[in-house]
Amino acid sequence: MVFGFGKNSAPQHKEVTAQHLQGLLQAGEVLVVDVREVNEFEEGHIPGAVNMPLSTFQPSQLPDAGGKTLVLNCLGGKRSGMALDKCSTAQGAVDTHLAGGFGAWQSAGLPVER
């Protein structure tokens, strides 16, 4: 086996599509945590999202979702994946992010809060 390739080389992240996330939001089942930097978040984000920039991201500081599932997002999916890696290292229960990130959300024509 080549190092870095194999079933246990990296944590597996669950992904939701923008349309699925919108449905979960409408049903009140998720809380979105946006890991983009503050200036990016202010330029537009998923309505109701909480901003926790990756540059200062600590799984222990994640908000209490009150029984909802936390879903992370960034612009394209890379930073939210990095934040999920931090969560898995911290034994966090957060394992889901938005496939394609905020870019996919915008491309789907879903609402943007500014």
Q: What residue type is 63 in one-letter code?
A: P
Tokens of 39: 């200036």
Residue with tokens 């979105």: 32
Q: Is 87 a catalytic residue?
A: no
Q: Which of 62, 71, 74, 84 is catalytic?
A: 74
Centroid of chain to Cα 56 = 15
Residue with tokens 């034994």: 91
Tokens of 80: 């939210």
The catalytic residue positions are: 74
